[in-house]
Amino acid sequence: MFIDSDACPVKDEVYRVAGRYGLHVFVVSNRMIAVPQSPLIERVVVEAGPDVADDWIAERVSDRDIVITSDIPLAARCVEKGAFVIEPKGRLLDRDAIGMALAMRNLMTDLREAGVMTSNGASFGKADRSRFLSALDTLVVRARKPHPRAPMHRIE
């Protein structure tokens, strides 16, 4: 699992789920942050700069990895590589959802650049945390199942 950890409100939840399933977690940021002492949790501090953490994740993620991020362009890059992407509020960004998410992000960026006041959405709450935990648990189970496109071995 990979956490785009700058401003990620669900790191503790990811640590708990990863511990339950024995999954390795990369906590990627451009500054030093506290992480629990565990052989399953690896802190990765990249140099400061735009998209450096995103690039680190996108270069290493592969098919069926799980990425936790609210960064839509990073999510699109990871989905393209076959990864599962989940936002901190529990929304799964898959091949079906990523196009709409990118279009909405670009529209909101254009509106802000044109001087239109836009909201940042509702604040993160207890229901979001619960929805994320449930969605992540379901996603881990799904990611651990055999790949549906994997060749079947014939038993004779």
Taking the chain, what is the end-to-end CA distance rounded to the nearest angstrom?
A: 37
- Closest C-alpha to 23, from 150, 148, 141: 141
Residues ≥6 apart with Cβ < 8 Å to 155: none
Please give the model's pTM, rounded to 2 decimal places.
0.81
Per-residue pLDDT tens digits of the chain, which is 156 residues long: 999 997 799 999 999 999 999 999 999 999 999 999 999 999 999 998 888 999 999 999 999 999 999 888 999 999 999 999 999 999 888 877 776 666 666 666 666 777 777 666 678 889 999 999 999 999 999 888 876 655 444 444
DSSP string for 67-98? EE-S-HHHHHHHHHTT-EEE-TTS-EE-HHHH
Euclidean distance between CA atoms 3 and 75, whole angstroms: 11
Pick the CATH number of 2-144 from 3.20.19, 3.30.700, 3.30.1490, 3.40.50: 3.40.50
**Domain range annotation of the chain:** 2-144
